[in-house]
Structure 1
């Protein structure tokens, strides 16, 4: 199978017929993630269509187009437009009715996890999804964005994209903080604690996590309007 992309914990292979195989390298089961994506699609939220699941393997519809990060870096989407889009994706997700009453959280909803096909944005990578307070989801996004700004080397396989993003995301973060409707500053500490437990973070990323949290907190403290 042709390798299309690799993330920190999964690889994506081309299957043909408009489908891809996403496989977790550690062998973790993908059934819960498949269930979440199927429920999202049924509810009208833009997530990948699931064709099958077997252990760590997910068969998904292939999405043609750049990520939101790539679109922002090339200028095809403005920084303000990208921030507004990501805020809307958060708001729309958290407005969905979900079993148990609490909203569904993505907990990794940043510009690299939004695909931009011609028919509209699609949110990918639902491995962390669970119900919870919407503010935690927004705080996690802000923290991840801030980490890219303060931490060189977070995208070692895409140095040109990282250089563009580190410049753009400095303006993106306050624009996102203003655009999203959920107040999230009080959940930054919890978001940082969760990120600190992520086994995929490098030593440098962990060392600069406090700096990233401070940058995100400053963005959250800016007056709206």
Structure 2
């Protein structure tokens, strides 16, 4: 189990972050990026899981700029609230906050990012804009089409769901054509397949994607 702390971005903004440390020496640092639901129970459990595998994990509360303490579930009302909050964000401020999280993780060694839906887009942009990242992993990234022309400066791995109506598999083909060095995997699953609190959770896809993610980080961090 981790604990909450406070980070300070370059512009002086303070934001909360959930940090989980491994029991032994860290294999590296991971910045874990939220969905539109904030640093909720699922994201905290993701951090705890990666920490159990040896990584020092930092999950910045990116929505603190528009509403501190966001911790949503997955009801239709929560989805609507999360979308409203995401719409009030801007990329420049988001990158400042992710940079603060990367800085917090650097004491553990090389740093990678992993993000889910909105966070999948954040990790992609961070790989293009934030110097010093060693690896980037994104799951079913909502903003990928918007950010498709941004080129990652570190190795990137993307996970897609074949039944995901929001992020079509054709986008995997497009992104691979634009950025041939990235790795893309497609699973017979729907949007949100990694989250065991969501209706479209798929244990097989989640397990396989996690194994690939861990192998990616093991090689690069």
Of Structure 1 and Structure 2, which has the larger fraction of its residues in helix? Answer: 1
Work out whether the TM-score is over 0.5.
no
Query: What TM-score, normalized to structure 1?
Result: 0.31
Of Structure 1 and Structure 2, which has the larger fraction of its residues in strand? Answer: 2
**Pair member with larger Rg:** 1
